[in-house]
Chain A
């Protein structure tokens, strides 16, 4: 089973967001991690490999630092990493990213492509779907349980109010939702081995893509921070009294009941 995982480096979930002097998102001093949903995807790929044999390749598009998450995936047990470096692009959107990833994937053999269902930074939840569309593959989104058999996958995916079980032929794209598994930590041995594993670097030129071919369809024109919430009233008094006051304020002052 040849498995490809698409992974993205994101800000830590605890990161505070500020704007820089150009009014863009300030990346200085922010702790970077593997997108948590992609970590579930890496873990699942390793589990499928452990059960069926095969090879796991992790692919990431991003700046130089993104190799940290690729090293992490290799240390967890992935076999190979592909890092697509696109420093020349000033602006990107999900169309850009998907076009580049799909082009890179067309040079890799796969039976299954795994990815997180969304990244916790832009929350856009569309790159995997676009990649599936470009490559002509069936997709199952937000998977919480995956069984791979010869030529097909049976996946349970989260839907509102429950879940549904789908069967799709392989190769397919499957995105991971929290609950799918518990990602392993890299071991010391894994970290040592990761240093010897192959990390391929690709550029747009290597993929024979011109910058205009991957020009974004959507452009950001302004970033801003939310108005901070201010602390409201602390309701004091005996519990029964406080509860009654709160209910009264919600009705009369806040008017939400």
Chain B
């Protein structure tokens, strides 16, 4: 038996990213099928107490690397910590989230360990004794199934919202293994000068269950307020099409599409979005798509499960009212 199926448990301000639990779900199945242990890795400072949660989500073993130098994420610090741990314990598989941090870390660790990396995977299966990863390419316009021939560990980043989360089993315990990390001068070359959070209180686009998105039809930055009101009733994130970003209505961090974020929410509400192929590429894996547009010929209606042909400035506030009624909010 090799050194287990590993999940990098990304945490921010004492909370795990949702994709951590989704990776533990997929990891549990692999571990059971391959007769491996499911292990989670937590890196940071003062993060020891987070380990218990990972046991409750199915981890058999939790490696904790705790050091003051790891209080903030840096590519060098986390890369050194994770690759050292992997060299010591020789995992069969390492999963990370396809998040800002996960993909940065994964590329460096994969190269350090001289192995391959499948990125942004939406499926993990075992066929003929091999792990087969499914991942979208061309922003979801096509898919590829990929396998690792001999390279080990098998490394992959997993798209948030793509796989079901592990079952929560209160009180279930994992074996916790504390691991050290010591750094020499010059080991960590990125110096964090400042972190600026523009927290809106809304969920991340890539993690959100519901997204309310606006396009060129929004006509101005101010008009996005009506989408925000709807989003706040639904606990949704607010996104935008490239046209709305290029017109300067909203920042690029809100862009959904081939040159923006790829999203897979349960519900995507597209307002004033025509449905350019570059936008559809980023959101067509949404479970349910709603389109509101004045133009009955708009492409977005061809992919929408539900459409309303009409003026979004009239429809969206009405929707907000209806959802408030339904959800019992004032």
Report which A residues bind B (CB closer than 8 A): 11, 13-17, 19, 25, 36-37, 93-95, 98, 120-130, 132-134, 138-142, 154, 158-169, 172, 177-179, 216-226, 229, 231-236, 239-240, 242-244, 246-247, 249-251, 254, 256-257
Additional A-B contact list (6), CB under 8 Å, known A126-B103, A220-B144, A254-B306: A16-B141, A126-B117, A129-B111, A159-B195, A164-B193, A231-B302
Query: For chain B residues 271-330, which have a beta carbon within 8 Å of chain A?
Result: 276-278, 281, 284-285, 287-290, 296, 301-311, 314-315, 318-319, 321-323, 326-327
A178-B255, A242-B310, A247-B319 as given contacts; A257 in contact with B326, CB under 8 Å: yes
Nearest residue (CB) in B for A228 is B303
Q: Give bound CA distance, A229 to B275, whole Å.
A: 13
Closest 10 CB pairs of A and B: A217-B116, A129-B107, A126-B107, A218-B116, A138-B189, A232-B305, A217-B151, A243-B318, A133-B111, A162-B197
B307 touches A120 (CB 8 A): no
Query: For chain B residues 138-159, which have a beta carbon within 8 Å of chain A?
Result: 138-149, 151
Q: Give bound CA distance, A158 to B104, whole Å.
A: 12
Residue B84 interfacial (CB < 8 Å):
no
Note all chain B residues with C-beta closer than 8 A to A95.
110-111, 115-116
A231-B301, A256-B267 as given contacts; A121 in contact with B137, CB under 8 Å: yes
Choose among B111, B258, B285, B310 the residue that contacts A134 (Cβ–Cβ < 8 A).
Answer: B111
Choose among A124, A163, A226, A250 the residue that contacts B143 (Cβ–Cβ < 8 A).
Answer: A226
B148 touches A125 (CB 8 A): no
Residue B251 interfacial (CB < 8 Å):
yes
A167-B193, A234-B309, A246-B306 as given contacts; A239 in contact with B104, CB under 8 Å: no
Residue B199 interfacial (CB < 8 Å):
yes
Overall SS of chain B's interface:
mixed
- Min distance, Cβ B158 to any Cβ of chain A, angstroms: 14
A94 touches B117 (CB 8 A): yes
Q: Give bound CA distance, A247 to B319, whole Å.
A: 7
Q: B240-261, CB under 8 A of A: which get 1 and which 0? A: 0000000000011101001110
Q: Give bound CA distance, A94 to B234, whole Å.
A: 40
Nearest residue (CB) in A for B109 is A133
Note all chain A residues with C-beta closer than 8 A to B266.
256
Q: List 19 A-B contacts (CB under 8 A).
A: A14-B278, A17-B138, A94-B107, A126-B110, A138-B76, A141-B104, A154-B193, A159-B100, A160-B204, A165-B195, A217-B116, A218-B146, A220-B144, A221-B145, A225-B141, A235-B307, A239-B308, A243-B321, A247-B323
A225-B143, A246-B306 as given contacts; A179 in contact with B252, CB under 8 Å: yes
Q: Give bound CA distance, A226 to B141, whole Å.
A: 7
- Min distance, Cβ A19 to any Cβ of chain B, angstroms: 8
Choose among B76, B137, B196, B321 the residue that contacts A122 (Cβ–Cβ < 8 A).
Answer: B137
A129 touches B318 (CB 8 A): no
A124-B119, A233-B306 as given contacts; A242 in contact with B290, CB under 8 Å: no
B119 touches A123 (CB 8 A): yes
A250 touches B306 (CB 8 A): yes
Q: Give bound CA distance, A166 to B284, whole Å.
A: 35
A178 touches B260 (CB 8 A): yes
Note all chain B residues with C-beta closer than 8 A to A138.
75-76, 189-190
Note all chain B residues with C-beta closer than 8 A to A36.
259
- Min distance, Cβ A142 to any Cβ of chain B, angstroms: 7
Choose among A17, A129, A160 the residue that contacts B108 (Cβ–Cβ < 8 A).
Answer: A129
Choose among B112, B149, B189 the residue that contacts A219 (Cβ–Cβ < 8 A).
Answer: B149
Q: Give bound CA distance, A235 to B293, whole Å.
A: 12
Residue of B136, B191, B289 with highest tally of chain A CB at under 10 A: B191
